[in-house]
Amino acid sequence: MKAMTTKAWLRWTFCGLGLLACFGAMGCQTTIGGQTLPSPHYIDDDVQYFPPGPKFKLSREAAAMRAYQAERELQQLSP
């Protein structure tokens, strides 16, 4: 069996290091403290939380209509 030449040894070493760098850059799912985290870069993600709004979305319009109706009733009562 032939001994591996220096060029072949260097080539395989650099290929191995390249593959290792590719796998390290990918990021994979891990479990830390009972949490399943998607990648090592989860801290960099922006949180997209939208708080719940009011159940009745037209509250200002309804208040304006009530005020308008009350104003009309006052105008009809006054001579």
- pLDDT over 60 at 75, yes or no: yes
**How confident is the model at residue 1, as a pLDDT?**
44
Q: What is the DSSP string of 22-76?
A: HHHHH---EEETTEEES-TTGGGSPP-------SSTTHHHHHHHHHHHHHHHHHH
On whether the pTM is more than 0.85, the answer is no
Phi-psi bin for 63: left (phi > 0), alpha (psi -120 to 50), beta? alpha
For residues 70 and 76, what is the distance between their CA atoms, to the nearest angstrom? 10
The residues with which 36 forms a beta bridge, in sequence order, are 31
pLDDT band at 73 (very low <50, low <70, confident <90, very high): very high
**How confident is the model at residue 2, as a pLDDT?**
63
**How confident is the model at residue 71, as a pLDDT?**
95
